[in-house]
Structure 1
Amino acid sequence: IFYSYESIDGMGNLSTQNPVNWSSNRFNAGKKYQAGYFYSNHQLGNLDLNNTNLFESNLEPSEYLASNYKAKEYISAGYIRWDQDLSSKTSLIVGVRIENTSIDYTGNYVQDEEDLIGEIKHKNDYTNVLPSLSLKHKFTNDFILRAAFTTSIARPNYYSLAPFISVLKEDTELFAGNPNLKATYAINYDLMVENYFENIGIVSGGFFYKKLN
């Protein structure tokens, strides 16, 4: 919920309110812009907006109706891993993770920013299989090669999934969320070599490649 406040008797003359000059180095845009004098953030922060003798409050539905939503998201997962030494110098780790995502979203159907027409509910359920493989090989005790193939996901932002609709008839514009957005699926390849030195520690170098769908 969003309210705007208006002073009933006015705020008085600015020159009598110890204003702050936001020109010169006090202004982020630089000293060539003369912003001038304003109320200080301390003065504004200490105003008693709840005092009905001083301020009149007004509800501003255009600021929150389309932005408000309800969301429930449930994630369950399981993982299987197998470790195997192929030789005294080479070891392998193979695994797979399975994730199930279930979402339940409710958004608002808004017209002309201020009129709530109703609610829109949407449910979605999907499963991701995420395999991985890691290999480690010791050429010597100090010189080691590591390689990996992994997969992962990145889910959309919560608000991007909200099934809201905001219609502006006069401007012939419509804004809407997309509850059917899929999670980004990443395929990752990593290769690294490292060498340990007694006097300087470790020197390593690597290469990676990612493919995002």
Structure 2
Amino acid sequence: MMQDIKESVFEVLRAVLPIILVITIFKIALLRVPPSDLLLFLLGSGMVVLGIALFLTGVKAGLLPVGEAIGSELPARGSLLLVVAGSFLFGFLTIIAEPNLRVLVDMLDAVPGTGIPAVPLLLAIAVSVGFVITAGVLRIIFGFPLAYLFVAGYGAILLLAPFSSPEFLAVAVDAGGITTGLLTIPIILALGAGVSAVLAGRSALTDGFGLIGLASIAPILGVMAMGLVYP
């Protein structure tokens, strides 16, 4: 476990060190912040590196195997209702736990006069992702082309966009990036890999992947739909 943590720390450090160096240079050369502020920034950056490293280690050790196990077990049970319910619940709860969603909600709360309530927004995004993940899992099981779901999803976005208010449209587009978070990507990928692994004639590459792209459509649709019904 300690070796895994060390590897994660170095991996995260390689990713974030350039931006830390750039910000440090800006703080010293342009902003001329006092040493105490610079020290706080460096301390916070170190905590971010360690936190992400521990998070990634936990995902690899605990959540990825669970995602693959659930993905492989759902089709094996032979119940379509169980597949639908399990996939929806899996997608719903994964997004609820996604840190990126919390960041979006906190940013909206920090902006006065947005008029977009936090709890309905959370539910709209989570429910929409749950439905789309369910559709993606059913696609793997029944084997119809992935392109059909993308055409339907983006077609619905184009149809809803003219009727969405500017506020909800802007939030909807940004909400699409929620599904590219640290928690969502590995878990949903593991779910797709698990489902495709137990089905004869399915490829882990062509069938197991694609759920992340589908999931990115869901928050846009969910927030747009919320904007149509919310006063």
Higher strand share: 1
Q: TM-score range with shorter-chain normalisation?
A: under 0.3
Scaled by the length of structure 2, the TM-score of the pair is 0.20
Task: Report the TM-score when normalising by structure 1.
Answer: 0.21
Please state which structure has a larger fraction of its residues in helix: 2
